[in-house]
Each structure stands twice: as structure tokens, then as C-alpha cells.
Structure 1
Amino acid sequence: MAIEKTFEGQMERLEEIVRLLEKGEAPLADSMKLFEEGTKLSAALGKLLDKAEQKVTVMMENEQGELREEPFEAEEV
């Protein structure tokens, strides 16, 4: 199956893989292939999210009322 290259398409495929694996109906060899594809997709999606986070900036207002850009800092959960 061809994987759509968009983030959304890759996420949809990963969700499909999870559903298939959760059913537990696939033969072992097929389950292993799905698991491998899922781990690759998960890693690729993680990289895309990291890259997107690096691009996000937060506009802050300084004492003079001027807006300036600051890097986005994710809060630890």
C-alpha cells in the first residue's frame, strides 16, 4: 500500500496499522511487517513534529509595546 506523504496521510496509515494489530487476526509474518511499518511511520512522524515545533515562534510584546519573536518552548508535561 502506498503511503501518503503528508503528515495527515502518514498518521492515518499509522492508525490503520494500530487497528489491524489490535484485532490480532493477521498472521504472524504480516503482523511483523505491519509492526515494522508502524515503527518507521512513528519515527518519521516524530521527526516531522520536532521540525514543526522548531519553526513555531511566539510573539511577545516588549516594554515599548513592540512585538518580537521568541522561540517556542514546550512545557514539560
Structure 2
Amino acid sequence: MPRKPKTPDFEQALQQLEGLVEQLEQGDLPIEDALKAFEEGIRLTRDCQGILQQAEQKVQLLTEQDGDIVASDFGATEEPTP
């Protein structure tokens, strides 16, 4: 069975994105390289957003009670009522 290509993990993608931002902020890249770095940054940003959306969906599935999703803040100290 063929495997689908592995997407980079969030921490790795974020670290790469931070490196690109640092390079762009220095302002010494030729315009062609700066555009390539910007394009890569956009791709990494979308990857990170996708990873976060998947994590949010997993959290919603895990917090489902009796067929209903119980929404609660991550920082909430109260237990959701059944």
C-alpha cells in the first residue's frame, strides 16, 4: 500500500518559517531570492495553519460527549457539564 508523503511537523515548519523571516528582515537578499523566500514562507504558513486545523478537529472529536461537541476554552478550569 503506497504511503502518502509526510507533511512536516508543526515545530519544524515553524522553525523554518522563523529562519526565512530572519533572512528577509536582514534585507540583504537579492530580490529573486527574497521572492523565493517569501513564497516558501507563504507555503510554510499554510502548512502550519493546516496542522493547527487538524489538531483543532482532533480536540473537538476528543471532547465530544453524547454525540454533542462540548466547546470549552483550553485555559478553562471548570469541567464541562454532561
* Same fold per superposition (TM over 0.5): yes
Equivalent-residue separation in structure 2 for 1:71 and 1:44 (angstroms): 27
Give the number of the structure whose residues are more often strand, by fraction: 1
When the two chains are superposed, the root-mean-square deviation of aligned CA atoms in Å is: 2.5
1:48 paired to 2:51: yes
User: Which residue in 1 is equivalent to 2:12?
Assistant: 9
How far off is 1:59 after superposition?
Answer: 5.0
User: Which residue in 2 is equivalent to 1:20?
Assistant: 23
How far off is 1:5 after superposition?
Answer: 1.8
How does the TM-score come out when normalised to structure 1?
A: 0.69
Partner SS, residue 25 of structure 1: coil
Higher relative contact order (CA 8 A, sep 6+): 2
Equivalent residue pairs, number: 64
Q: Does the 8 Å CA contact 1:14/1:41 hold for their aligned counterparts? A: yes
How far off is 1:71 after superposition?
Answer: 4.7
Equivalent-residue separation in structure 1 for 2:52 and 2:71 (angstroms): 13
Identity of aligned residues (%): 34
Q: Does the 8 Å CA contact 1:54/1:71 hold for their aligned counterparts? A: no
Structure 2 unaligned segments of length 5 or more: list them: 1-6, 74-82
Structure 1 unaligned segments of length 5 or more: list them: 61-67
